[in-house]
Amino acid sequence: MKMEDIAKLAGVSKAAVSLALNGKGGIGPETRDRILQIASENGYRPKSRTSAREAQTASITFLVFANSGIVLEQYYQQPFFRELIHYIEERCRASGYSLLFSSVDMSTFDEGIRAIAEDKRADGVILLGTNLNKPMLEQIAGRLNGPLVVLDTCFETLPISFIQINNAMGAYQAGQHLCGLGHRDIGYIASDIRIRNFDDRRTGFMQALQENGRELSPAHVFSVAPTILSSQDALKKRLSAYRESQMPMPTAFFCECDYIAISAIKSLVELGYRVPEDVSVVGFDNISEALIVSPELTTVHVEKERMARLAVDMIVEAIESGSLVGSKVLVDTQFIARGSSRSPDPAALEAAANAVR
């Protein structure tokens, strides 16, 4: 009798069986009693490694490689990561695991991997992969001995478990929203630091424009720092120069993340533009600050709670079963229309049409 057999008889997952047999939280009392009864009736005996585990507190490490563009040293204060960590902590607690934190400066990448590999406190690792490329992930996975789940990026050819946002879908939704409102001259404000998430978002957005007979003019593409919530002088200078060229301003901008969108709104307002009367702005991530900015930000909601729950459940199952077979999970997005977007002013549409003629 194996854990898989008990799971089938009880009609639950193998992870639930593991939680019941190890006396951990995360399942209801009736489910626990049913699992234990089936195990007892079938003479199930846990492996010795499980008995050894009972003498210690099970833990998971949340690992971050910081100081690399989008992921700062104080990453835990950045809205997106702050919310993600909150949900990971909640799920770990519900599953009977403590959460440890480990941050490695990107400038000491090799030494950091070695130190993590030698640290035996945790039973598995959830790695924030936002700013990591494929060779880096290969190197990390090759040095770690236990289960590993990577959050917020995905490389399909790596034998690693990934939980990733459906970035292309979210940006596609944003593009469809702006086209549906009637915008024809749409601008794009990109991050000047490139990661795979942003590249996928551009792909999805461009697909929406193409399907709606729109084109993205190179003159309408701007780039800014992705981690500044205030207005940015560099963006203001570029927008001012564009205005002085007598070319019509785009009637809407899609921004690769909410940080950029909020910074864009503040920059546009300081230049005398009204959002959304003159220019609509759409972001991506739905961080808590999206509800504080005025007007409230139209954005793409990322299911951070679901991503956290999936990551913890996946790592717990790998720890308890001893399986290192990877899985790739793509989590869809939801589009949220708020006050920063609306249909373009008819006068703006006419100006754009005259410019084309």
pLDDT in tens, the chain (357 residues): 677 778 788 887 766 777 777 665 556 777 777 888 888 777 676 554 444 344 356 899 999 999 877 898 888 889 899 999 999 999 999 999 999 999 899 989 999 888 888 887 889 999 999 999 999 999 999 998 889 999 999 999 999 999 999 999 999 999 999 999 999 999 999 999 999 999 999 999 999 999 999 999 999 999 999 988 888 898 999 899 888 888 889 999 999 999 999 999 999 999 999 999 999 999 999 999 999 999 999 999 999 999 999 999 999 999 988 876 789 999 999 999 999 999 998 765 555 455 444
Secondary structure class of 71 (helix, strand, coil): strand
Sign of CA dihedral 240, 203, 298, 347: positive
Helices (H), 1-70: 3-10, 14-21, 29-41, 48-53
Instruction: Answer yes or no: are the C-beta atoms of 268 and 297 closer than 8 Å.
Output: no
Report the candidate in 247, 200, 258, 192 with the shortest Cα–Cα distance to residue 222: 192
Query: Token digits for 69?
Result: 């563009």
Rounded to whole angstroms, the Cα distance separating 2 from 7 reads 9
Q: Are strands 299-301 and 334-336 parallel, antiparallel or unpaired?
A: antiparallel
Looking at residue 23, its pLDDT comes to: 65
The amino acid at residue 67 is N
The answer to whether residues 119 and 95 touch, using CB atoms and an 8 Å cutoff, is: no
Amino acid at 176: Q
* d(C-alpha 59, C-alpha 78), whole Å: 24
Query: What are the distances in angstroms from CA 82 to CA 244, 288, 333?
Result: 40, 10, 19
Q: Which residues contact 135 (CB under 8 A, 6 or more apart)?
A: none
pLDDT reported for residue 54: 43
List the structure tokens of 197: 């998430």
Q: Please give the radius of gyration of the chain, using alpha carbons only, rounded to the nearest integer.
A: 24
pLDDT of res. 317? 92
Could you give all domains of the chain from N- to C-terminal order, each with its CATH number?
3-53 (1.10.260.40), 59-166+303-332 (3.40.50.2300), 167-301+337-356 (3.40.50.2300)
CB 186 within 8 A of CB 162: no
Question: What confidence score (pLDDT) does residue 348 get?
Answer: 56
Q: How many angstroms separate the CA atoms of 220 and 239, rounded?
A: 10
**E strand or H helix that includes residue 104:** strand 98-105
Ramachandran bin of 203, using left for φ above 0, alpha for ψ from -120 to 50, beta for the remaining angles? alpha
What does the pLDDT read at residue 352?
47
Are the beta carbons of 210 and 285 closer than 8 angstroms? no
Burial of 65 (0-12, 13-18, 19+ CB in 10 A): buried
pLDDT computed for residue 224 by the predictor: 93
Task: State residue 9's pLDDT score.
Answer: 82
pLDDT of residue 47: 52
Residue 262: what pLDDT?
96
